[in-house]
């Protein structure tokens, strides 16, 4: 009888333990489901806000267009003697950043007329006359010569000319349109073209949230080929021949990189932190010729980029807008409307992989 009772008690304890385990696991699953549902509802709410029409006069009063003069009334009537292609122009804009207008034209365009509109066609009271040369975005962004080209101060585009339109903090998520004509030095004006924009909210895809670590980097050479750089391994560019002062020939690479750390942490509140620590070697050509052996200068780059991220509506890519960065003891905080981009043209999210493309680099990160 005691044996039967002991076995029954043991069985009961096993059942209780199993039920307890199931209860805990069910609770965890329920919390995960609730968290996922809350994030989904948040994204849906953000998307709804992004579809809110913005008042044309509000947009017109709160854009920052370098080289642009705001005039009353309507733009001059076009003679349509020249043409412009805006197919490369983005349909997304970002809070505190703005957007770019990419222009392709066979004409020597020098300026543009821009008038903002609501999505129902209501026009702003005035328009901007923009001197394209004065708007040159390469001159207005913060200069970071020591920064790796991973951080780009222009938006990658094949356009002939680009107009940078920045926002102040009064412009909120929503939609608006603008109508643009370009003109040349002799007064020829293109037909107006309408482009509609979505001002993206911060944050978005729940799959992006988490800590991402670099697994490899593809560095493109001048001949179109690329080499792969792996963390904690030195990677050098193509080997070239150098004629030494003593008449011999030296075979050596020109530049090398060792990736110590590259981590990107993406937060649910729409912010990110990117930490970057690499070592570099640059060939000193004159000294290498004199000694007929490779002589390098060595330095390191350690920086932290902070800003906000958004999921771009037009192609579902992730865009990272840098609002500040620190390099050693140096801290740079951008002025309103003068933010920078972490990647040239966004990053593609594919499950546990995140791929960012730049002019000469492509980086691959994984969770």
Phi-psi region of 19 (alpha: psi -120 to 50; beta: other; left: phi over 0): alpha
> 81-95, 172-186, 256-270, 342-356: which has the minimum mean pLDDT?
342-356
pLDDT tens for each residue of 102-116: 999 999 999 999 999
- 8-state DSSP, 24: H
- How far apart CA 355 and CA 289 sit, in angstroms, is 40
Q: Closest Cα partner for 165 from 71, 102, 110?
A: 102
- Contact present, 277 and 258 (Cβ < 8 Å): no
Query: What does the block give as tokens for 68?
Result: 């642009």
- Contact present, 362 and 218 (Cβ < 8 Å): yes
Tokens 């951080």 label which residue? Answer: 151
pLDDT tens for each residue of 156-208: 344 678 999 999 889 999 999 999 999 999 999 999 999 999 999 999 888 99
Report residue 1 CA to chain centroid gap.
75
Dihedral, 81, 85, 91, 96 alpha carbons, nearest 10: -70
Top-confidence range, 5-14, 41-50, 143-152: 41-50
pTM over 0.85: no
Is the model's pLDDT at 63 over the cut of 90? yes
Query: What does the block give as tokens for 339?
Result: 């933010």
Count other Cβ atoms within 10 Å, centred on residue 344. Answer: 21
- 8-state DSSP, 311: E
Specify which residues 282 forms β-bridges with.
255, 297
- Contact present, 70 and 60 (Cβ < 8 Å): yes
- Contact present, 117 and 194 (Cβ < 8 Å): yes
Specify which residues 261 forms β-bridges with.
277
- How far apart CA 255 and CA 151 sit, in angstroms, is 19
Q: Give me the pLDDT at residue 9, please.
A: 46
Query: What does the block give as tokens for 295?
Result: 């002589």
């Amino acid at each position: 009888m005691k044996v039967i009772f002991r076995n029954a008690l043991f069985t009961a304890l096993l059942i209780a333990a199993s039920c307890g385990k199931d209860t805990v696991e069910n609770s965890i699953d329920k919390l995960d489901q609730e968290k996922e549902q809350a994030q989904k509802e948040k994204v849906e709410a953000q998307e709804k806000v992004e579809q809110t029409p913005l008042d044309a006069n509000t947009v017109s009063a709160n854009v920052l267009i370098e080289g642009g003069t705001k005039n009353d009334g309507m733009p001059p009537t076009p003679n349509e003697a020249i043409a412009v292609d805006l197919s490369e122009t983005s349909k997304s804009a970002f809070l505190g950043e703005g957007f770019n207008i990419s222009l392709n034209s066979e004409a020597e365009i020098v300026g543009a007329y821009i008038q903002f509109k609501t999505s129902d066609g209501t026009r702003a009271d005035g328009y901007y006359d923009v001197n394209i040369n004065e708007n040159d975005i390469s001159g207005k962004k913060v200069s970071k010569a020591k920064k790796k080209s991973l951080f780009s101060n222009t938006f990658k585009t094949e356009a002939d000319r680009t107009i940078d339109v920045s926002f102040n903090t009064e412009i909120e998520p929503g939609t608006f349109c603008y109508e643009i004509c370009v003109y040349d030095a002799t007064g020829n004006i293109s037909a107006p073209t309408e482009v509609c924009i979505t001002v993206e909210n911060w944050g978005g895809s729940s799959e992006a949230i988490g800590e991402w670590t670099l697994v490899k980097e593809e560095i493109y050479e001048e001949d179109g080929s690329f080499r792969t750089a792996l963390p904690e391994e030195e990677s050098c560019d193509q080997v070239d021949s150098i004629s030494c002062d003593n008449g011999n020939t030296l075979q050596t690479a020109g530049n090398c990189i060792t990736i110590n750390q590259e981590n990107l942490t993406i937060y649910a509140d729409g912010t990110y932190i990117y930490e970057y620590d690499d070592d570099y070697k640059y060939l000193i050509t004159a000294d290498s010729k004199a000694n007929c052996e490779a002589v390098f200068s060595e330095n390191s780059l350690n920086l932290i980029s902070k800003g906000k991220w958004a999921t771009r509506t037009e192609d579902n890519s992730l865009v990272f807008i840098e609002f500040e960065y620190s390099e050693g003891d140096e801290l740079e905080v951008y002025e309103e409307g003068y933010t920078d981009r972490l990647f040239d043209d966004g990053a593609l999210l594919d499950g546990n992989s995140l791929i960012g493309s730049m002019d000469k680099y492509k980086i691959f990160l994984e969770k």
